[in-house]
Amino acid sequence: HDHLISARQLSRADVEAVLDRAAEFDAGERVDRTGDLLGLCFFEPSTRTKMSFDTAMKRLGGDTVDMGPVDSSSVKKGESLADTVRVVEGYADAIVLRHPSEGAATLASEFVDVPVINAGDGAGQHPTQTLLDLYTIRENAGLDDITVGIMGDLKYGRTVHSLAEALTEFDAGQHFISPESLRLPRNVRYDLHESGADVREHTGLETVLPELDVLYVTRIQRERFADENEYRQVAGEYRIDAGTLEAARDDLTVMHPLPRVDEIAADVDETDHAHYFDQAHNGVPVRMALLDRMLDRGDRR
């Protein structure tokens, strides 16, 4: 079975196939997947990813079975991840997994015969977020000959790791803006370097902002810091407001995977730059396209 664990797996052709199909779903295309069931195993909080997978599967005509919150599942009694997914594969045709540990989706995929979709593994990867991010970028700026700025918590931000890796498949310059302590992890920097991508790192937004087609802002991932003091040192930096964007191009697209804390002031919401709510909505057609494709490859039905 094909699993989707990392954005590194996604070729340009794969991305384009999913986005093209997503555009068909966005335009009203319908299929009937009555009887297909998607297992939702979320070991960490989620609003968008979980609800949009749930919506997507139901819009495809299928249904979902949800492990529910960790506190009301048998994880609370000490059941392992491996045992949990081995049980859920008997209930569902594919499993969407979010987990606080990096590598959890890889581990799960080694224990089951149904497709495993990584919906976020700690500070690792979040490849389905990347697909909806790319869909949003394509709609607003196109995917070639673009300059993308990615700002905030580049160390712990799994959406950043996945997006940066996927953008290497396109003709996209990438500027990374963060405090020194939250630079991209070494493994991601290595992959970007190996890909030959046009990548630069900065500690401030000012010099690079006027060049950008897309500015992707992220939350400082407080829950990943071992030391709360370290979090406090960087919290509140790397915010934008409508005033900041006066130096940007008129057609700059501002994105954010959400949830936001205070990185994007509410006055940006009223500008034409704001695309983060459309971005969240794009999760439904994109996940419909992904599920339709992955379930087609399954051999259980």
Q: Are 170 and 12 a contacting pair, CB within 8 Å?
A: yes
Rounded to a whole number of angstroms, the minimum distance from the CB of residue 119 to ligand CP is: 7
221 binds ligand CP (CB under 6 A): no
User: Which 114-143 positions form the footprint of ligand CP (CB under 6 A)?
Assistant: 129
Outline where the chain has alpha helix (H).
12-26, 48-59, 81-88, 104-109, 127-141, 158-167, 186-195, 228-234, 276-281, 283-297
One of 2, 11, 47, 203 touching ligand CP (CB under 6 A): 47
**Residue 141 contacts by C-beta under 8 Å, 6 or more apart in sequence?**
213, 214, 251, 253
To the query of whether residue 76 is one of the catalytic residues in this protein, the response is no
Nearer to ligand CP, 52 or 84 (CB): 52
One of 6, 49, 84, 136 touching ligand CP (CB under 6 A): 49
Strand, coil or helix: 75: helix
Q: Pull the structure tokens for residue 251.
A: 């057609």
One of 9, 46, 55, 106 touching ligand CP (CB under 6 A): 46
Listed ranges 2-10, 44-52, 232-240, 290-298: which one lies at the site for ligand CP (CB under 6 A): 44-52
Peptide bond just before 100 cis, omega within 30 deg: no
Q: What whole-number distance in Å separates Cα of residue 22 and Cα of residue 33?
A: 16
70 binds ligand CP (CB under 6 A): no
Which own/partner contact pairs does 241-249 have at CB distance under 8 Å and 24+ positions apart? 241/265, 241/267, 241/268, 242/267, 242/268, 242/270, 242/271, 244/205, 244/209, 245/209, 245/271, 245/273, 247/206, 247/209, 247/210, 248/209, 248/210, 248/212, 248/215, 248/273, 249/210, 249/212, 249/213
162 binds ligand CP (CB under 6 A): no
173 binds ligand CP (CB under 6 A): no
Residue found under tokens 């919906």: 119
To the query of whether residue 12 is one of the catalytic residues in this protein, the response is no
152 binds ligand CP (CB under 6 A): no
Nearer to ligand CP, 127 or 257 (CB): 257
Q: At what angle do helices 158-167 and 186-195 cross, to 10 degrees?
A: 10
Listed ranges 42-50, 71-79, 189-197, 205-213: which one lies at the site for ligand CP (CB under 6 A): 42-50
To the query of whether residue 48 is one of the catalytic residues in this protein, the response is yes
Q: Are 38 and 94 a contacting pair, CB within 8 Å?
A: yes
Rounded to a whole number of angstroms, the minimum distance from the CB of residue 300 to ligand CP is: 27
One of 39, 127, 173, 257 touching ligand CP (CB under 6 A): 257
261 binds ligand CP (CB under 6 A): no
Listed ranges 101-109, 234-242, 257-265, 291-299: which one lies at the site for ligand CP (CB under 6 A): 257-265
Nearer to ligand CP, 48 or 175 (CB): 48
Nearer to ligand CP, 45 or 236 (CB): 45
Nearer to ligand CP, 234 or 280 (CB): 280
List Cα–Cα distances, 149 to 33, 61, 66, 178, 201, in angstroms.
Answer: 39, 38, 36, 11, 10
One of 37, 70, 258, 265 touching ligand CP (CB under 6 A): 258
Nearer to ligand CP, 49 or 125 (CB): 49
Q: Residues in the site for ligand CP, rule: CB under 6 A?
A: 46-49, 129, 257-259
Q: Catalogue the active-site residues.
A: 48-49, 77, 98, 126
